[in-house]
Amino acid sequence: MKLRPTRRGRTRAVLAVLLSLAVTVVLARPADAAYAQIEGSGSTWSEVILQQWIADVDANGMKVTYNGGGSSQGRKAFGQNVTDFGITEIPYQGKDEFGNVDSAGSREFAYMPIIAGGTAFTYQLTVGGKLVKNLRLSGETIAKIFTNQITNWNDPAIKKDNNGRVFPSLKITPVLRSDGSGTTAQFTTWLDKQYPAIWRGFFGRSGLTSYFPRKGAAIAAAGSDQVMNTIASASGNGHIGYVEYSYPVNKKYPVVKVLNKAGYYVEPTQYNVAVALTRAKINQDKGSDKYLTQILDGVYSATDPRAYPLSSYSYMLLPTGAKDQRMTTAKRQTLADFMFYSLCEGQSKAGAYGYSPLPLNLVQAGFDQLKKLKTADPKVDIAGRSVTRCNNPTFVAGNLSKNKLAEVAPQPAACDKQGAGPCGGGTGTAPTSTEEASAASGDDKGTASPGTTPAAGTPGAPADAAVPGASGVVDPVTGAPQAATATGGGDVTAVPVELLAGRAGDERVFGALAAVELVALVVVPGMLAALLRKRRRNA
């Protein structure tokens, strides 16, 4: 007697076959490249996004470790062959402020831009038991705060910046970096260029420093994360410090709106940074050891109402020597694939983490720099890499000189103009007239005129942009105008959100789901038909 499989048995058999086929389809892809763990150190300014990229590629078999000990430490470790790569906000200086060597020695390398962002001033200032979230400061006021010329929050200069709003008598405590920091170097470069009389009288000479002089009431902490934690601590009332915008974004803490040359107080949103960096000069001399490094004078003095003055780039120190003692084919392949991801898909995450994505010309330049890994070792595979496949909100197809993010950046609200506001409360008033807060027709770039709120549905405005009677507050993450709340507030803090543009591993996950779906659509009907035919024959 022939035994027939039970219905449950046949079902299990079908599922087993489907699962087997699905796994086969999912895994039927080219073998992963041979990878080896790579190690880097340096900037904490860049560390938040860098650690996210590291987590993203881990699912693809790439093992990357990073220690954010500060840009000075990162340059030193790379030059001494302690690490495979370094991250820094400023290039090697030849000698540091103490006369010590600051160079890569004989190690061959290239600078490669990896991310853009703004150096923010985050603070804790409590009035009536509530955290102030709409503080405005001019560059001169900031310079005097960090050089001990303004030492109390009730100073007339702070009152003037906030359009007559008076803050309580409370000692200002500047929080500095205790380690050699690219963030400090960026900040002091700005101070030296924009407020030389204030800075040089305090510093004792001209130029930047990676070690901010600690004088007066100032305190110091190692790394951007500890600066942020010190300010946000229970004893932090009255504290103010400088960090990359990503830190207050992740801490959901307020940042200072800084007065720009157009007379508007702005935050370092991805939009405002993108606008400002259209004025950056990049060294284009491929024969120079400073190729692709930045000159930011034009950024500091940018007259676009949206521009954030302390915007800049961060760089990877990329090992390019064929005889580099730390590098192998597997390490170079890991570094190449890690940075191809970071320069391409990784840029789509920039805004959500408090950064601004690189424009197309710098991504293309980064791709070109990575070709040097193959020049050093022909076994490195860099085939099929094209910027046209990158998911980057700055790109304008076919035009390297354009920056879409900068073009659609919203104009600041009327209440952020010097002499008006401040937005969201204080002694000033938010715009309430149709003329001030209604939609503007926009210019040829699709953005509203300064001091107006773009209307919903117009280029440069989100779908839910504010309507007449809006608060005039601009969201710190998106840069988009926000409608007034039911309670009449409008103060906001930066809140990290995940971009919808894609996450690391999505392609593999959706590829697997697509494979299963393909199996279900193509294989299942055939198998079921065969089972039915067999069942009829045996009936």
pLDDT tens column, 104-146: 999 999 999 999 999 999 999 999 899 999 999 999 999 999 9
| Mean pLDDT, residues 95-107 taken together | 93
Q: Which residue has the higher pLDDT, 151 or 466?
A: 151
| Mean pLDDT, residues 285-299 taken together | 96
pLDDT of 384 reads 86
| Mean pLDDT, residues 63-67 taken together | 98
What are the tokens at 105? Answer: 């020695």
The region of weakest confidence among 17-26, 45-54, 202-211, 235-244 is 17-26
The predicted-structure confidence for 479-537, as pLDDT tens digits, reads as follows 444 443 333 333 434 333 222 233 334 334 333 333 333 333 334 445 444 545 555 55
pLDDT of 126 reads 93
Q: Which residue has the higher pLDDT, 538 or 421?
A: 421
Alpha helices for 204-324 (secondary structure H): 223-232, 246-251, 270-277, 297-300
The predicted-structure confidence for 224-258, as pLDDT tens digits, reads as follows 999 999 999 999 999 999 999 999 999 999 999 99
- pLDDT confidence of 91, banded at 50, 70, 90? very high
pLDDT exceeds 90 at position 304: yes
% of the chain surpassing 90 pLDDT: 68
What are the tokens at 64? Answer: 């990357």
The region of weakest confidence among 21-35, 174-188, 298-312 is 21-35
- pLDDT confidence of 396, banded at 50, 70, 90? confident
The region of weakest confidence among 147-151, 218-222, 310-314, 509-513 is 509-513
Alpha helices for 430-470 (secondary structure H): 434-437
pLDDT of 389 reads 80
DSSP 417: B
Vertex 70 angle, CA 349 and 496, to 5°: 25
% of the chain surpassing 70 pLDDT: 73
pLDDT exceeds 90 at position 63: yes
Measured CA to CA in angstroms, residue 63 lies from 32, 337, 338, 506 at distances of: 13, 11, 9, 18
* β-strand partners of 121: 242
DSSP 340: H
The predicted-structure confidence for 193-210, as pLDDT tens digits, reads as follows 999 999 999 999 999 999
The region of weakest confidence among 27-41, 266-280, 352-366 is 27-41
pLDDT exceeds 70 at position 316: yes
The DSSP line for 207-240 is: S--SS----TT-EEESHHHHHHHHHHSTT-TTEE
pLDDT of 386 reads 84
pLDDT of 85 reads 98
Rounded distance between C-alpha atoms, residue 22 and residue 15, angstroms: 10
The predicted-structure confidence for 434-473, as pLDDT tens digits, reads as follows 222 322 223 333 344 454 433 322 233 332 222 222 333 4
β-pair type (173-177, 294-295): unpaired
pLDDT exceeds 60 at position 47: yes
Among residues 152, 156, 113, 111, the alpha carbon closest in space to that of 138 is found at 156
Rounded distance between C-alpha atoms, residue 227 and residue 222, angstroms: 7
**What does the mean pLDDT of the chain come to?**
80
Rounded distance between C-alpha atoms, residue 479 and residue 275, angstroms: 12
The backbone region for 298, taken as left when phi is positive above 0, alpha when psi lies in -120 to 50, beta otherwise, is alpha
Rounded distance between C-alpha atoms, residue 261 and residue 272, angstroms: 13
pLDDT of 297 reads 97
pLDDT of 18 reads 40
| Mean pLDDT, residues 405-420 taken together | 96
pLDDT of 23 reads 33
pLDDT of 385 reads 87
pLDDT of 539 reads 52
Rounded distance between C-alpha atoms, residue 365 and residue 294, angstroms: 13
pLDDT of 16 reads 46
For the chain, the residue count is 539
